[in-house]
Amino acid sequence: MKSSRYFSILFLCVFFLFNTIVAQDTKQKLELQRKKLEKEIEYTSKFIGKTRKNKTATVNEINLLNTQIERRKELVETLKREIETLDRNIEEDQDGLARLSKKLTDIKSQYANLVYFAYRHQTAYNKLIFLFSAEDFNQAYQRLRYLEQLAAYLRKQASHIRKMETEKEEDIIKINNQIDEKKRLLDDENVQMSKREQEKAQKTQLVKKLSGQEKQLKVRLKQKQKEANRLTNKIKEIIAGEIRTKTSAKTGKKYVLTPAEKQLSANFAENKGKLPWPVNKGMIAETFGVHQHPVLKYVKTRNNGVNIATEKNTDARCVFNGKVVSIARITTTNKAVIVKHGDYFTVYSNLTDVYVATGDKVKTNQALGKIYTNPDGQTRLHFEVWKGKEYQNPAYWILKR
């Protein structure tokens, strides 16, 4: 019976401790996520500000605003989750404070009764009466021991009450701090929601403004698609060439990697989601996949990689050890470096200057070339990841910031 009760108490202690740890962990994760989003929003705002200095409405500005609006939405959702977590913590702490207050009241009441009893018997006269009224010496000795133990217990209880009062004060301060934090988060949530609405209004105005430039937009889009197709064809040509080199014409054996290439390929695959960014500082301005054009109705665009917005005079960096297999000229201001990593390939496009040559072995984070800055002051790196003949979503391969 005692054993069962002991394990029940132990289970409850472990349960409450686990819940506390989980709650703290959740709160810390949400705080980190909020700070990360705030940093991304600040960085995107910087690019939007630079774009607006040119006083010319562009599709890039709309794309940046789309990114900003999405980040604000994520931030508001994170703030809501933080507030919900705080509400739970406040409720739990208030319940704990109520239990502590009741316990303290009970102990104080018990202590007051004991003090009154002790006062009646601790005076010299009453103490003697209490002792001499004993039936025998043994009972008198036991009464003396009892009075001594009572005095020691009262001292201990007095110390315990002081500690509990301190704990209660600390709990009150903690709850008040949480309430203040909740108010701050609610204010921040309202600010972010207001800014998001402003950005949506700005986007609507930009779309309206650019809608009158449909002809020019279609010309620019056609040029961009032409450049993208040229790059894709070049990549496919390089990969096909690599496969031909590795395939025996006589035996017709399939494309086979050398042991060193297999190891490099395996190492690259193991680092999925952990590869460094191809720029020192930047943000994804256009994501991978098929997208509805922000202005032109019924027009969709495809991105085989990601477009990373960065600062002027930034170098593109290799994300993993490999070998340069091609340097392609897409336009007069756009060069692309293709690096092989076993069965994988990474592509760094929109470079104006290239620091490496075909055949060079390159290391992780090695500078490959300077990224081109267009007349509007926009610096964009187009980055792709391929596995054999299949393109991958680069966002799944590089570190999340």
Q: Which helix (H) or strand (E) holds 34?
A: helix 2-53
- Which token pair is 100? 């502590």
Query: Is a pLDDT exceeding 90 seen at residue 170?
Result: no
Q: What is the DSSP string of 268-335?
A: HHHTTTTBPPSSSS-EEEE-SEEEE-SSSTT-EEEESSEEEEE-TTPEEE-SSSEEEEEEEEEETTEE
- Average pLDDT of the segment spanning 331-358: 90
CATH homologous superfamily of 216-396: Glucose Permease (Domain IIA) (2.70.70.10)
Which candidate, 288, 291, 263, places its Cα nearest to that of 386?
288
Could you give the CA distance from residue 293 to residue 285 in angstroms, rounded to a whole number? 14
Domain boundaries, the chain: 2-211, 216-396
**Per-residue pLDDT at 249:** 46
350: closest CA among 326, 333, 338, 366? 333
Residue 250's pLDDT band (cuts 50, 70, 90): very low
Report the candidate in 266, 268, 285, 358 with the shortest Cα–Cα distance to residue 319.
268
For residue 383, what are the β-bridge partners? 306, 348
User: Quick one: pLDDT at residue 252?
Assistant: 53
Highest mean pLDDT: which range of 106-110, 121-125, 128-132, 279-283: 279-283
Question: What pLDDT, on a 0 to 100 scale, did the predictor assign at position 131?
Answer: 52
**pLDDT at site 352:** 92
Sorted by sequence, the CB contacts under 8 Å of residue 150 that are 6+ apart come out as: 114, 117, 118
Instruction: Tell me what the mean pLDDT of segment 109-130 comes to.
Output: 61
**289 torsion bin: left (phi>0), alpha (psi -120 to 50), beta (else):** left
Does the pLDDT value for residue 326 go beyond 70?
Answer: yes
Task: Give me the pLDDT at residue 124, please.
Answer: 46
Give the angle 328-333-337 at the CA atoms, nearest 5°. Answer: 30
Q: What is the DSSP letter of 254?
A: P
**Closest Cα to residue 317, out of 288, 286, 351, 285?**
351
pTM as predicted: 0.63
- Distance, CA of 196 to chain centre: 20
C-alpha span between 343 and 255 (Å, rounded): 10
Contact 214, 296 (CB under 8 A): yes
CA distance 104 to 93: 16
Q: Which single residue is written with the structure tokens 């290391």? A: 363
pLDDT digits (tens, 9 = 90+) for 184-196: 888 888 888 888 8
Dump pLDDT digits (tens) for 37-56.
Answer: 777 777 777 777 766 665 45
DSSP line for 131-190: HHTSSSHHHHHHHHHHHHHHHHHHHHHHHHHHHHHHHHHHHHHHHHHHHHHHHHHHHHHH
36 by DSSP, 3-state: which? Answer: helix
> Mean pLDDT throughout 352-361?
94
Count of other CB atoms within 10 angstroms of residue 378: 21
What pLDDT was estimated at residue 45? 74
Determine contact, residues 373/331, Cβ cutoff 8 Å. no
Is the four-CA dihedral 148, 152, 158, 160 of positive or negative sign? negative
d(CA 47, CA 65): 10
The Cα 87–Cα 164 span in angstroms is 24
Higher pLDDT, 366 or 231: 366
Phi, psi of 392 (to 5 degrees): -115, 165
Confidence of residue 14 (pLDDT cuts 50, 70, 90): very low
